[in-house]
């Protein structure tokens, strides 16, 4: 605007963090004949010498800011290498007065985190742990970092994302780590992407820095299981048991390339989902081999039922004790929530009782808080009693008796309606390490049991779909014979009366018979009658020079012999006109 005569400031070169903004100011001042003043002197940007000096000052200031930043980062890394840099702690840990990392003094928080890792050891999937917690009504703690409840620990629903964050955090293994994540710029309009880096690229890793909930070996095992569970990694088939019926999901190995085989399902009539084991090999476009898994699963199931001994009873008793311990642990943790709600209710009561009754504004507010805490306590207690009744039902005497009966009869346990596909897969994985499949002239199945024992079996190759749906030669022969005297619909009715079925196991219809004779090249009834010399109604009318209705009357009176050739009521006629002419 040309109204300023001088720009004054202390260390004016630090008005910007880079040289671009600083040189833009110099350019504007030079155009408007505006001076620049700092603690060292006065400068005229329109003069070359002054402008060059100011430019050097801006460049040196930018370099100084860069060096300061590098020194600060270096100090942070140096402090992190000693394990002294304070980092935001995950739930379950706190800083004491000496800034040492200790376990959370809240017993509920500690027990919940411990139960989380125990459940993961048993289920082997972060998503399954989250589903288990939510099904059992167990809440997971979370520390608030903003809002009116900042730094407060609240309990809420456990999500799968939260579960994976806990499993990836090395602090739970007692390790101090720095540089686990890095920011990747994504342009001016988007926030930087934060992603995890490999463990080898962490800037600092100090094991046994503080007390952990798990060991470092267990933490590494958890990471490897997460990698196996991830479907986007190289070995995509090593995954936890799913809901599908394929028994060898995750443990089927291709005998050609040695990779894990995936599972796909085909819906078949009457049989539900039929599993197929396939391997893509080193290429994503082609399969190494694809094998029908129905008979393979049947073989594995038969072997397991044959090899199970009465020792299953001891295993079942151990499972029963573990189940009771888990129920007791979950019950204790849920009871902590009831105790917390009771404490909040008593605390609200004491606050209400301590206020001056004449101060109605405060008294009304505290009374409302007291009523809310009472309602929350009743809800927590009701949920606790409901879950406790369910747990008691699980470990009742009748249930113990049923477990013992099933344990002594493994086939009954295997075939029980309450045993789902996921449970059967877990049983298989407890007994079998992997199964190698090779499809050649026959299917070779090599089963490797836990402990090293192996067995090799051979199965015939399953028929293709078109072979399974192929009609029997007897049906084809019978259709060919019946079409000499019957139409497609008549032949279908006789086949159904005699108990014949199609290749797909369905009854016959005129349309189905028509498709079969066209597919197998069987002559139709029309072609057979024409081959014998029978005439159409048009040909009869032309030879006798009569109308169609006359031919219909001759057929109805029996003077003209006719043969029906389709289900629409059309006929072919014999070439015998002597009796007609005589009459």
Residue 490 CB burial class (10 angstroms; 0-12, 13-18, ≥19): middle
Average pLDDT over the chain, rounded to an integer: 81
pLDDT surpassing 50 at residue 581: no
pLDDT of residue 245: 82
pLDDT surpassing 60 at residue 102: yes
Condensed to tens digits (0 to 9), the pLDDT of residues 51-92 reads 898 888 888 888 888 888 899 999 999 998 988 898 889 999
Q: How confident is the model at residue 260 (pLDDT cuts 50, 70, 90)?
A: confident
- Nearest CA to 11 among 61, 53, 45? 61
pLDDT of residue 406: 55
Condensed to tens digits (0 to 9), the pLDDT of residues 463-490 reads 665 556 677 888 888 888 888 888 888 8
pLDDT surpassing 80 at residue 117: yes
Residue range 93-229 in CATH 2.60.40.1120: no
Average pLDDT of the residues in 200-217: 90
pLDDT of residue 374: 87
pLDDT of residue 231: 52
How many whole angstroms separate alpha carbon 521 and alpha carbon 527?
12
pLDDT surpassing 70 at residue 403: no
Q: How confident is the model at residue 234 (pLDDT cuts 50, 70, 90)?
A: very low
Instruction: Yes or no: say if 511 and 489 are a contact pair by the CB < 8 Å rule.
Output: no
pLDDT of residue 293: 85
Percentage of the chain exceeding pLDDT 90: 14
pLDDT surpassing 50 at residue 111: yes
- Residue 81's CB is within 10 A of a number of other CB atoms, namely 15
Condensed to tens digits (0 to 9), the pLDDT of residues 439-453 reads 888 889 999 887 678
pLDDT surpassing 70 at residue 116: yes
Between 349 and 316, whose confidence is greater? 349
> What one-character DSSP code corresponds to residue 520?
T
- Nearest CA to 229 among 219, 221, 240? 240
How many whole angstroms separate alpha carbon 289 and alpha carbon 295?
16
């Amino acid at each position: 605007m040309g109204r300023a005569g001088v720009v004054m400031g202390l260390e004016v070169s630090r008005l910007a963090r880079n040289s671009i903004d600083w040189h833009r100011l110099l350019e504007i001042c030079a155009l408007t004949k505006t001076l620049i003043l700092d603690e060292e002197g006065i400068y005229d940007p329109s003069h070359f010498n002054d402008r060059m000096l100011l430019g050097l000052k801006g460049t040196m200031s930018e370099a100084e800011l860069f060096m300061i930043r590098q020194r600060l980062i270096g100090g942070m890394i140096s402090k992190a290498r000693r394990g002294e840099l304070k980092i935001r702690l995950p739930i379950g840990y706190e800083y004491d007065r000496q800034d040492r990392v200790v376990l959370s003094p809240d017993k509920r928080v500690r027990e919940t985190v411990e139960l989380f890792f125990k459940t993961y050891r048993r289920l082997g999937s972060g998503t399954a742990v989250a589903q288990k917690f939510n099904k059992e009504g167990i809440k997971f703690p979370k520390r608030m970092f903003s809002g009116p409840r900042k730094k407060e620990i609240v309990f809420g629903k456990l999500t799968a994302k939260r579960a994976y964050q806990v499993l990836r955090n090395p602090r739970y293994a007692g390790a101090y780590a720095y540089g686990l994540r890095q920011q990747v710029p994504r342009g001016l309009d988007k926030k930087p992407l934060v992603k995890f880096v490999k463990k080898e690229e962490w800037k600092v890793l100090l094991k046994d820095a503080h007390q952990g909930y798990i060991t470092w070996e267990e933490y590494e095992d958890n990471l490897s299981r997460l990698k196996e569970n991830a479907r986007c990694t190289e070995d995509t088939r090593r995954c936890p048991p799913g809901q599908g019926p394929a028994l060898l999901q995750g443990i089927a190995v291709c005998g050609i390339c040695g990779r894990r085989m995936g599972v796909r399902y085909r819906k078949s009539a009457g049989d539900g989902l039929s599993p197929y084991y396939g391997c893509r090999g080193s290429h994503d476009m082609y399969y190494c081999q694809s094998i029908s898994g129905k008979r393979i699963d049947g073989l594995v199931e038969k072997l397991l039922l044959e090899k199970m001994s009465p020792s299953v009873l001891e295993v079942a008793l151990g499972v029963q004790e573990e189940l009771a311990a888990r129920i007791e642990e979950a019950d204790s943790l849920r009871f902590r929530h009831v105790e917390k709600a009771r404490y909040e209710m008593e605390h609200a009561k004491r606050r209400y009782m301590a206020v001056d009754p004449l101060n109605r504004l405060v008294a009304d507010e505290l009374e409302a808080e007291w009523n809310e805490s009472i309602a929350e306590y009743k809800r927590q207690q009701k949920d606790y009693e409901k879950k406790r009744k369910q747990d008691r039902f699980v470990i009742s005497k009748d249930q113990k008796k049923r477990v013992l009966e099933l344990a002594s009869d493994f086939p009954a346990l295997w075939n029980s309606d309450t045993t789902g596909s996921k449970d059967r897969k877990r049983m298989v994985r407890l007994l079998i390490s992997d199964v190698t499949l090779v499809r050649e002239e026959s299917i070779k199945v090599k089963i490797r049991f836990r402990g090293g024992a192996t067995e090799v079996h051979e199965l015939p190759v399953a028929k293709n779909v078109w072979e399974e749906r192929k009609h029997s030669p007897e049906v084809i022969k019978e259709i060919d014979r019946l079409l000499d005297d019957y139409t497609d619909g008549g032949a279908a009715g006789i086949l159904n009366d005699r108990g014949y079925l199609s290749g797909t196991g369905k009854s016959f219809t005129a349309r189905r018979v028509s498709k079969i004779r066209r597919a197998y090249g069987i002559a139709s009834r029309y072609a057979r009658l024409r081959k014998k010399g029978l005439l159409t109604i048009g040909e009869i009318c032309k030879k006798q020079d009569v109308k169609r209705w006359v031919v219909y009357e001759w057929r109805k009176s029996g003077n003209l012999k006719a043969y029906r050739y389709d289900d629409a009521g059309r006929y072919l006629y014999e070439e015998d006109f002597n009796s007609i002419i005589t009459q």
